[in-house]
Amino acid sequence: MYSRMVVGLDGSKLAEQILPHVEALAERFHSTLVLVQAITPPAAIMDPATAAMVGPLAGPIVDPAAIAEAEVREATAYLEPVAARLRERGFAVDYVSRAGAPAGVLLDVARELGADLLALTTHGRGGLGRLVFGSVADEVLRKAHCPVLLVRASGAEAV
């Protein structure tokens, strides 16, 4: 039923609260887990127009390519140990880090891989918090091609 599950992570303990849920499902259905983390696209770091406005001094101070490379390294440094812990417990695990908006990255990866389930946590923001910060969970729920498992993160940081 759930042969491939895409799991959205962002490097936080709150996002990792989805893991026990997908582990239980993966154990039951012998699923492959695909951990996904979105990273900031280089253009969002500093586009050429902004760099031109800042001037020639920005070059050595702000290098979007170097920042993007650092984000890829950080994502890999985060995802590899999480994947290793899951593999040690007997799960089949892959991971992907990709530049883009989190909801878009999750939706694209799930579609490309033919995922049977997309799983993530939500911070449970409503009202103004949701308006200001957007809602990855809301967009995923509205646009996903497959079932979505959404778990509300608990803890002081979740609100």
Q: What is the mean pLDDT of residues 148-155?
A: 89
Tally the domains of the chain: 1
Confidence of residue 11 (pLDDT cuts 50, 70, 90): very high
Residue 140's domain comprises 4-158
Rg (CA), the chain: 17
Q: Are 102 and 23 in contact (CB under 8 A)?
A: no
Name the residue among 132, 121, 131, 106 with its Cα closest to residue 158: 121
User: Please, which residues bridge with residue 149 across strands?
Assistant: 119
Phi, psi of 32 (to 5 degrees): -95, 130
Percent of all residues in the chain with a pLDDT value above 70, rounded to a whole number = 78
- pLDDT digits over 29-80, tens only? 999 999 999 998 877 666 555 555 555 555 555 677 788 888 989 999 999 9
- pTM for the complete prediction? 0.83
Least confident window among 38-47, 62-71, 82-91, 127-136: 127-136
Task: Give residue 124's pLDDT.
Answer: 61
Q: Which CATH number is 27's domain given?
A: 3.40.50.620
3-class SS at 96?
strand
